[in-house]
């Protein structure tokens, strides 16, 4: 009876060990996953997707995700080239393109990308003025993305996109910008008004020269003016009369 009990216990132990062995030896990777395989601590290959069988204890697998990561960059204090202090935050989209380098060359690639993005954001934006930060975000996004992509290439990471989310400005600076915008609108209005006055004066000069060459045309202008006056509510009409048509006063003898 004791021997039978021992056989069942040994059989049960063998089943448990087999299950644990298979659990440690069998990996199933989804389509967007890869496994970096190490044999006795040395890199062997990148496995997956699908079914992967390894030798427990001797081999280890590190699972990686090839999908797009979205990392929020905390607000950074940036001093622009024209000495304006602003707070800027951004969001980064990146993914792993080489699992081997992403696991071997950097301990925590997400933390590394986040820290690199913060320093790059301050460095790039500090070279531009405030107006450029507000008006040329697409260009700044492209510049930051290019720098990050070049530096993270050694980690097997591709930075797909960088978007500056907010540029927070101090309240006093907001008022100063509003005054500047108002002054710019007034300047443009005055320039447009001056241009209109210049064009009107030029046309008047041309009209005067044309009327001087054709004296009879002045009489036509008189008639047009009388017609315009007659159509209005004015009841009294005063129009100029050439001096040569007025009778000359007679001279009296002393």
Separation between Cα atoms, residue 149 and residue 67, nearest integer Å: 17
Collapsing DSSP to helix, strand or coil, 84 comes out as coil
pLDDT per residue of the chain (254 residues) written in tens, 0 to 9: 555 565 777 777 777 777 777 788 888 999 999 999 999 989 999 998 999 988 888 989 999 999 999 999 998 888 888 888 888 999 999 999 999 999 999 999 999 999 999 999 999 998 888 888 888 888 999 999 999 999 999 999 999 999 998 888 877 666 666 676 677 778 888 888 888 888 877 777 777 676 667 666 666 666 666 666 666 565 565 655 554 554 555 555 54
pLDDT at 230: 64
Number of Cβ within 10 Å of residue 102's Cβ equals 24
> Are 35 and 11 contacting, i.e. CB atoms less than 8 angstroms apart?
no
Question: Could you report how far apart the first and last alpha carbons of the chain are, in Å?
Answer: 176
Q: Give the separation between CA 64 and CA 37, rounded to whole angstroms.
A: 11
Distance between CA atoms of 214 and 27, rounded to whole angstroms? 102
Each domain of the chain, given as residue ranges in start order, spans 17-65, 69-169, 175-235
- The pLDDT of residue 22 is 77
Q: Which helix (H) or strand (E) holds 63?
A: strand 59-65
So what's the pLDDT on residue 233?
63
State the pLDDT at residue 157.
95
Instruction: Please tell me the predicted confidence (pLDDT) of residue 244.
Output: 52
CATH architecture of the domain 69-169 equals: 2-Layer Sandwich (3.30)
- The CA distance from 176 to 131, in Å, is 13
Q: What is the reported pLDDT for 254?
A: 46
* Strand pairing category for 42-47 and 33-39: antiparallel
- Which pLDDT score is estimated for 135? 84
Are the C-beta atoms of residues 190 and 184 closer than 8 Å to each other? no
Burial class (CB in 10 A: 0-12, 13-18, 19+), 99: buried
Write b or e for each residue in 205-231: b if 16 or more Cβ atoms lie within 10 A of its Cβ, otherwise e.
eeeeeeeeeeeeeeeeeeeeeeeeeee
Burial profile 76-94: b = 16 or more Cβ within 10 angstroms, e = fewer: bebebeeebebebbbebeb
pLDDT at 132: 84
Distance CA 104, CA 82 (A): 42
pLDDT, residue 243, reads 47
């Amino acid at each position: 009876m004791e021997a039978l009990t021992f056989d069942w216990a040994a059989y049960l132990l063998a089943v448990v060990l087999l299950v644990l062995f298979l659990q440690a030896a069998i990996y199933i990777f989804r389509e967007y996953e890869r496994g970096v395989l190490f044999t006795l601590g040395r890199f062997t290959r990148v496995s997956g997707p699908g079914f992967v069988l390894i030798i427990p204890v001797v081999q280890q697998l590190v699972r990686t995700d090839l999908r797009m990561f979205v990392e929020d960059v905390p607000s950074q204090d940036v001093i622009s080239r024209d000495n304006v202090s602003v707070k800027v935050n951004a969001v980064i989209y990146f993914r792993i393109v080489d699992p081997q380098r992403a696991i071997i060359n950097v301990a925590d690639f997400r933390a590394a990308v986040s820290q690199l993005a913060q320093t790059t954001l301050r460095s790039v934006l500090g070279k531009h003025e405030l107006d450029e930060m507000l008006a040329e975000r697409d260009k700044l996004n492209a510049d930051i993305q290019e720098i990050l992509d070049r530096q993270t290439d050694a980690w097997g990471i591709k930075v797909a996109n960088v978007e500056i989310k907010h540029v927070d400005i101090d309240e006093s600076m907001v008022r100063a910008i509003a005054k500047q915008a108002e002054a710019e609108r007034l300047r443009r209005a005055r320039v447009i008004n001056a241009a209109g006055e210049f064009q009107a004066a030029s046309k008047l000069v041309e009209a005067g020269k044309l009327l001087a060459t054709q004296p009879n045309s002045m009489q036509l202008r008189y008639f047009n003016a009388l017609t315009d006056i007659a159509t209005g509510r004015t009841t009294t009409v005063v129009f100029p009369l050439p001096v040569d048509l007025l009778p000359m006063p007679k001279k009296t003898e002393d």
